[in-house]
Amino acid sequence: MDGDLVVAQVVFEDVYKSFPARKGDRTATKTPVRDKLKALFRRRLKPTFLRKIISKIGLTRTPANPTSTDSGLIPAGQTATQTASEGDTKNDTITVLRRINFTVEDGEFMVLVGPSGCGKSTLLRLIAGLEELTGGSIWIGDRKINHLPPKARDIAMVFQSYALYPHMSVYNNLAFGLRRSQRGQKRRSIPSVLRRKLESGLVSGTRVLPKPFRYRSKREKWIDQTVHHVAEVLQIETLLDRLPKQLSGGQKQRVALGRAMSRDPQVFLMDEPLSNLDAKLRTQTRAQIVKLQRQLGTTTVYVTHDQTEAMTMGDRIAVMNAGQIQQIASPLELYNQPANRFVAQFIGSPPMNFIPIQVKTPRHLHHPLFSLDLPEVWAPVLSPYQGRALSLGIRPEHLDLASQSPNHIPAQVELIEALGHETYLSLNLGPPTEEHESISLSVRINPYQQVAIGERLWFSPQLDKIHVFDNQTDAALRPNT
C-alpha cells in the first residue's frame, strides 16, 4: 500500500437520529373508520350519499395541515392536536439515537456494545453515510461529513454478511474497490480522459485471457501489488483464484477484511463481523482483527452485542442502551467501576447479582437473611441514604464459600454447571416471604469443590468488590478511594 496510513479522529457532536413511525405503530382506534371509508370508495358511492355516511359515523373534514391524519379526516369533537398526540400523524417519529457526544481518538479501536435495538448499528451507518442525520454533526479528522456521500467519506465497512461478489474471484473482490477509486492515479497536465478509458477497456477486455496476453497498465500493476500485499498480511495468498462459494466462513471474513484494508481508509467500520462464525473460529478471527488493527494503526469503530468481544478487543468500550451512551471507558474500568446498574449487569459473564438491601446506618446494610458491615470509606456515601432501600451488586466471582454466619449470604443450590476449569452454581436465597422476595444468584466456585443440588451453602462477599446502586436512578454509589 502506498505510504503511511492516514488516521483521523471521529467526533460525534450532539447526534440525534429518528425514523418516521411505521403504519403498524398507529393507533388501532382509527383503523375501523379508514376501513369503512375504503370500502365505501370501492363501492363507488355517489358523493352526496358518501357525505351522509360520513356525518353518521362522526367524521368532519378539517383544513389540510401538518397534523392532519392520512385520510384528511378526524373524528368529530376531536382536534388535530389530540389526534397527533395519539400517534396517528405523518409527523410521528421514533427517536433511536439521542445526545450522542464522544470522540474516537486517532488509531483507537472503539467498540460499541449493547443489546439488540440499542442503536449501535444505526450509529455506524450514520458514519458510513448509509443513514441521514436528524440532528448534530459527525467529523472525521477536520472534515464535517454530514452531507458527504459515502464514497467521499474515506471509510471502509465490513458487514456481518461479508457482502462478497459471488461471481468474482477473491483477487477481483479485493481489487474491485481499488479499481473504482481514484487512488493510484496521478494527475496529468495533458487531458487523458480518453487514454484512461482506453486503458480501462483494454484491462477489462483482456482480463479473461491467459496472463501473458493480458494488458496491464501502471495503475493495474499498482492494484496487483496492493492486492498481493493485503493477501500476504491476511494469509490468503492461496485463495486468490477461488470464488466465494469455495471458501469457509473464516476465509470469507478475511476476504471481507482484506477488501476494506486494500482501500487504505481513514476509518474502519465493522458491523458484527464475527456473528456468523462458530465459537472456535470466532476466537481465532477476533485475535487476527486486533493484531491487524494494531499493525495498521487505523481508527476502527467496531459494533457487537457480545460483551466478551468488546472486553477482549477494544481500547475503549461505549456501552449503549435505548439510543443513549451509558458509559465510555476501558474494559477493566467498565468491569470494576460501572456507572449504573445497566452497565454492571451487561458487562460480565455471568452477569452481576443484585440483592435488595436497606441502609440501617451509614456502614450497615440489612437484608432479612443477612447483614453486612462495610468499611469506613462507605460512611460518607451512604449517610444520605440511611433508612432507604438500595441494591447490592456482587459479581459471581466475588462470593466465597464460608461457614454459617449472620454476616454471610445463605442460599440453596438449584443448578450446577461444571465447565472443567471452573464451576458455576445457580442458587436461590429462599422462597418469597412478606419480608423478602425470591432472588436467584450465580456463584463461581473452585471446580474441585464438591456440592450437591438442594444443599444449603453460605457465602462471604468480598467487601472491597461490592457495588451499591440507587433504586430510583440506577446510578452507582461509589466511595472516594
pTM summary value: 0.76
C-alpha cell at 87: 400517534
Instruction: Give the phi and the psi of residue 296 in degrees, each rounded to 5.
Output: -85, -35
Domain residue ranges of the chain, discontinuous segments joined by +: 22-91, 351-477
Bond before 350 cis per omega within 30 degrees: yes
pLDDT at 65: 39
Instruction: For residue 396, give every residue at least 6 positions away whose Cβ sits within 8 Å of its Cβ, in sequence order, or none.
Output: 350, 352, 353, 424, 441, 442, 443, 444
C-alpha cell at 346: 451487561
C-alpha cell at 241: 483464484
Digit-coded pLDDT (tens) for 385-396: 999 999 999 999
The residue type at 123: L
Digit-coded pLDDT (tens) for 18-55: 888 766 554 433 445 555 555 545 545 445 555 555 45
The answer to whether the beta carbons of residues 118 and 322 sit under 8 Å apart is yes
CA distance 479 to 377: 6
Task: Please name every residue paired with 458 in a beta bridge, in sequence order, or none if there are none.
Answer: 402, 410
Judged by DSSP in three states, 13 sits in: strand
CA distance 271 to 297: 19
pLDDT at 75: 37
CA distance 317 to 334: 8
pLDDT along the chain (481 residues), means of 10: 58 90 52 51 51 50 38 36 36 85 94 93 94 93 92 88 88 86 51 63 70 71 88 87 89 87 88 83 85 89 92 94 95 95 93 93 90 92 92 95 93 93 90 69 92 93 94 92 63
Half-sphere exposure for 309 (CA within 13 Å, toward CB)? 30
Q: Is 3.20.20.70 the CATH classification of the domain at 351-477?
A: no
The secondary structure of 118-170, three-state, reads: CCHHHHHHHHHCCCCCCEEEEEECCEECCCCCHHHCCEEEECCCCCCCCCCCH
Judged by DSSP in three states, 113 sits in: strand
